[in-house]
Each structure stands twice: as structure tokens, then as C-alpha cells.
Structure 1
Amino acid sequence: MKIHLVLVTILALTFGAASVAPSFAMDSGGTSDTNPKPKCKKNEVVKNGKCKPKNPGVLPDEDLYQQGRNLALSGEYDWAIGVLELVSNKQDPRVLNYIGYSHRKAGRFDEAFRYYHKALEIDPNFVLAREYLGEGYVAAGRVDLAKVQLNEIASRCGTTCEEYQELAEHIETGVN
């Protein structure tokens, strides 16, 4: 959770808080900021610091991508998919990757694999998609296919890049 909060902070400073993630607020039970609760409803996105209905064109693609990505990384998988599906560029491999990530984390492996493969058809060098695809294969019990992705990552960025290290650890521990 700390890594997620650091990423949100970095993105907020880079892109502006309203374009990065859903607005978060404390619940009335005194929850700390390490356990934020979304203020917006699941059928909404943040625009100019306010919750707005999810509609095509409500935000630029980059803002929708950032919000969807952050929702996915915070465990709001179905909400993330709904936001990411609003992106008008249906061929953005980053968007396809996080739709795949959300399906994988929600346990829908076949759907996840479909999105990862689409992302990799567009950009075969997208090593993050290869890492996540490999993690999905580990979770589905297909370590052999995960190792294929590990080798593909090694050929693109070496064995010291973060994506290689992460997937190697998942293969070794068997953890999704």
C-alpha cells in the first residue's frame, strides 16, 4: 500500500491530482490515510476535483488511463475496467495491459490473457505486459509459459530490469 501511495503522489505531482486518481477521503470511523476510501461512486470518475458520471469523452484518454491504472493497483478491479474501457484509443497497449491486470487479479485468467496478448501484438517489447502475463501464467499453474515470458523479458531488457526480477520471483515463489 505504501508503494501505491508513493506512486499516486508522484503521479499527482506530475499530472495534477485531479487527473491522477479518484478522490479519496477518510471515512467517519477515523481510518488512517493508509486505508483510503474512494469518495466517488463506482460509476464515476474524477474531473476537476469532482465526481462525474463515467461517460465517453468525460476526460482525456491519458486521465482515464491514469485513473483506471490507479484503481487497478488499489484493488478496484471492476471499477478500473469500467474506467479503462472509456479510453477512446482501444489500441493503447498500456490500457489493454491494465484491463488484463484487473481481470487477472479478479480471477478471470482467460480474459486477462486475451488483453495481455492484444497489448503484446501492438507492442512486443512491452515488458510490463510480459511480466503481468507471466504472473497470470504462474497463478494459472502454467509455469512453463511464465518462463517463456521471462526469457522474452530477458531478451528485451536483460536480467537486471525490474520486470525480469519481479516475474522471476513470482515463478520461484509461485505467488500471483
Structure 2
Amino acid sequence: MKLLQITCAALFVTAGTMTVTPVFSAGNSGNTCNSGYVWDETAKKCVRKNSENEMEYRFQQGRDFANAGQYEKAIEMLQTADASDKRVLNYLGFSNRKLGRIDVGMEYYRQAMAIDPEYTLVREYYGEALLQKGDLTGALQQLATIQKLCSSRECGEYQQLSGHIANYIRDTES
């Protein structure tokens, strides 16, 4: 029992004394932490809550919701994350676009590209949005930029957007 208590606690050493502070409750699965702590998926443990950990957690949760097709939940979570994070802006754009709010999504994409013009994932999604708006030329420009940034046609974002463009051309020609 004492071993279990030690494995479920954080040890703090200050001025030669050792204090054992529980981080999460016994019997907990380990992914819900006590007040002042947040679950760190990378470390697989509760860590002292700070804004960087919390914002990363919120981004990851929002991204996971978006990738699962739960776009409203994604937006709700991402809106509580760091609004200056290009990844947050990208997934806000993605989720809004998937809900049919293409112009809103495109604005988030533009904000993300303003932060990092070399962020190829946002350029790929922006290219998809341009296709949804019927702007093949704009999508081709994004594809060319992605190719330049990746320096190879093996880039996943290049392959994705290239496939969407090919489908768009095929569908508009038939």
C-alpha cells in the first residue's frame, strides 16, 4: 500500500525536507488530476498546471474532436486555447470549414499563415477551402507554395492537396 501511495504522488524536496503531495486520487485511471494539476499525455502523468500545459492540452483535445468529426466540440475547446498558436487557428479554420462556414474558416487560415507562412498543413487546408469556393487558380498557387516549401513531391500536404485538385478538375469536367 505504501508503494502505491508513492507512485501516485509527487515528491517535493525543499530545504532538506521531503513532502509527499498526492497528484491524483487512488483508484483513478491517471488521466484526471487534482486541482492545480493537468494530465500530460506525453509524460503520462499529472503535472503542475501552467498555462503552457493547459493550452497544449486544449489544443490536443480540440484537434482530436476535429479529427473525429465533432466540429462544434472542437471549436468550443479550441476557442479556450492560445489564439496566437498557428495550430489552434488552423483547426478552428478546419472545423468551421467542415461545418460549411468556409469564409470563417478561411479567415482563421489566413491568421495562421500570417504567423507562419511556411506552415504547409494550413496551406493545404486553405487550398481545399479555395476549391470549395471554386478558386482553382488559388488552390494551384497554394500547391506550388507547398511544393516549394517541401522541396519534394513526397510531402504529405502536397499529396493531399494535389489529390483534391485532381478530383475537383475531374468533377468540374464531367
Q: Same fold (TM over 0.5)?
A: yes
Following superposition, the deviation at residue 132 of structure 1 comes to 0.4
2:149 aligns with: 156
Structure 1 residue ranges (4+ consecutive) displaced by more than 4 angstroms after TM superposition: none
Residue by residue over 1:24-55, the C-alpha shift from the partner in whole angstroms, topping out at 9 and shown as x without a partner, is xxxxxxxxxxxxxxxxxxxxxxx76xxxxxxx
Cα shift readout 1:77-99 (whole Å, capped 9, x = no counterpart): 11101100101x21100000000
Over aligned residue pairs, what C-alpha RMSD do you find?
2.2
2:96 to 103, 107, 110: 103
SS at match of 1:60: helix
Structure number with the bigger relative contact order (C-alpha 8 A, sep ≥ 6) is 1
Residue aligning to 1:39: none
What percent identity do the matched residue pairs reach? 40
Q: Distance in 2 between matches of 1:109 and 1:133?
A: 10
Classify 1:67/1:141 alpha carbon distance in 2 versus 1 (closer, same or farther; 3 Å).
same
Deviation (angstroms), 1:139: 1.7
Q: How many matched pairs?
A: 123
Q: Which runs of 5+ in 1 are unaligned?
A: 1-16, 20-46, 49-56
TM-score by length of 2: 0.66
> What TM-score comes out, normalization by structure 1 length?
0.65
**Separation in 2, partners of 1:74, 1:91:** 24
The unaligned stretches of length 5 or more in structure 2 are: 1-29, 33-37, 40-50
Given residue 71 of structure 2, which amino acid in structure 1 is its aligned partner? Y
User: What corresponds to 2:76 in structure 1?
Assistant: 82
CA deviations 1:86-132 (Å, max 9, x no partner) are: 01x21100000000000111111100100000000000000000000
Give the partner amino acid of 1:128.
L
Q: Distance in 2 between matches of 1:137 and 1:18?
A: 40
